[in-house]
Amino acid sequence: MKVAITSTGPELGSAFESRFGRAPLFLVYDLEKDTFTAVDNSVNMAAAQGAGLQAAQAVVSAGAAAVITGHVGPKAFQALSAAGVQVFTATAVTVAEALSLLERNELVELKAADALGRGGRGR
Amino acid sequence: MNIAVASGKGGTGKTTLATALAEAAGGRVQLLDCDVEEPNCHIFVKLPAKTRDQVTVLVPEVVPEKCTACGECSRACRFNAIVSLGAAPMVFSELCHGCGGCLLACPSHALQEAQRVVGYIETSHAGDLTFIQGRLDVGQVLSPPVIRAVRERIDPGELSIIDCPPGTACPMVTAVRGSDYVILVTEPTPFGLHDLRLAVETVREIGIPCGVVVNRSDGSDGLISEYCSAEGITILLRVPNDRRVAEAYSRGDGLLTSLPGLRQELKGLLVRIARFSRRPAEVR
What is the pLDDT confidence band of residue B43, given thresholds at 50, 70 and 90? very high
Q: Does B26 fall in a domain? A: yes
A58: closest chain B residue by CA: B85
Q: Does B170 fall in a domain? A: yes
**A54·B81 Cβ contact <8 A:** no
Please give the residue that has the higher pLDDT: either B275 or A19: A19
- The letter for the amino acid at B97 is H
Q: Does B155 fall in a domain? A: yes
pTM of the model: 0.79
Q: What pLDDT was estimated at residue A48?
A: 82
Same domain, residue pair B89 and B214? no
Residues 6+ apart with CB under 8 A from B196: B7, B8, B9, B184, B186, B212, B224, B227
Q: Does B284 fall in a domain? A: no
Segment holding A60, helix H or strand E: helix A51-61
Average pLDDT, chain A: 90
Q: Does B45 fall in a domain? A: yes
Same domain, residue pair B179 and B79? no
Q: At residue B20, what are phi and psi to the nearest 5 degrees?
A: -70, -40
**In Å, how far is A22's CA from the nearest CA of chain B?**
13
Lowest mean pLDDT among B16-20, B95-99, B217-221, B275-279: B275-279
Same domain, residue pair B103 and B133? no
**B83·A53 Cβ contact <8 A:** yes
Distance CA A64, CA A57 (A): 10
**Contact present, B6 and B164 (Cβ < 8 Å):** yes
**B90·A82 Cβ contact <8 A:** yes
- Interface-testing mutation among A49, A78, A123, with chain B (most B C-beta atoms within 10 A): A49
Same domain, residue pair B198 and B268? yes
**pLDDT at residue A119 above 80?**
no
Q: What pLDDT was estimated at residue B279?
A: 59
| pLDDT (tens digit per residue) in B240-272 | 999 999 999 999 999 999 999 999 999 999 999
A79 three-state secondary structure: helix
Q: At residue B237, what are phi and psi to the nearest 5 degrees?
A: -165, 150
Same domain, residue pair B30 and B137? yes
Nearest to B197 by CA among B61, B7, B42, B55: B7
| pLDDT (tens digit per residue) in B139-179 | 888 899 999 999 999 999 999 999 999 999 999 999 999 99
- The letter for the amino acid at A122 is G
Q: What pLDDT was estimated at residue B136?
A: 97
**In Å, how far is B73's CA from the nearest CA of chain A?**
13
**pLDDT at residue A25 above 50?**
yes
Q: What pLDDT was estimated at residue A122?
A: 38
Structural domains of chain B, count: 2
ipTM for this model? 0.77
Same domain, residue pair B156 and B93? no
Same domain, residue pair B133 and B206? yes
Q: What pLDDT was estimated at residue A123?
A: 32
Same domain, residue pair B90 and B185? no
Residue B145: which CATH number?
A: 3.40.50.300
Average pLDDT, chain B: 93
Residue B88: which CATH number?
A: 3.30.70.20
**pLDDT at residue B57 above 50?**
yes
Q: What are the Cα distances from residue A96, in Å, to A19, A87, B81, B162, B216?
A: 17, 17, 33, 59, 62
Q: Does B282 fall in a domain? A: no
Q: What pLDDT was estimated at residue B86?
A: 79
**In Å, how far is B81's CA from the nearest CA of chain A?**
7
**In Å, how far is B4's CA from the nearest CA of chain A?**
29
What is the pLDDT confidence band of residue A121, given thresholds at 50, 70 and 90? very low
**A82·B95 Cβ contact <8 A:** no
Q: Does B281 fall in a domain? A: no
Same domain, residue pair B42 and B159? yes
Same domain, residue pair B89 and B182? no
A2-103 fold: Nucleotidyltransferase; domain 5 (3.30.420)
Q: What pLDDT was estimated at residue B142?
A: 85
**B84·A79 Cβ contact <8 A:** no
**pLDDT at residue A62 above 90?**
yes
Same domain, residue pair B24 and B73? no
**Contact present, B27 and B284 (Cβ < 8 Å):** yes
**pLDDT at residue B284 above 80?**
no
**Contact present, B245 and B217 (Cβ < 8 Å):** no
Chain A positions with Cβ closer than 8 Å to B: 47-51, 53-54, 56-57, 60, 75, 78-79, 82-83, 119-120
Distance CA B4, CA A119 (A): 29
Nearest to B175 by CA among B49, B50, B6: B6
- Interface-testing mutation among A22, A41, A43, A53, with chain B (most B C-beta atoms within 10 A): A53
Containing structural domain, residue B77: 64-109
- Residues in chain A within 8 Å Cβ distance of B79: 48-50
B105 three-state secondary structure: helix
Same domain, residue pair B97 and B216? no
A54: closest chain B residue by CA: B80
Distance CA B129, CA B27 (A): 8
Q: Does B188 fall in a domain? A: yes
**Contact present, A12 and A95 (Cβ < 8 Å):** yes
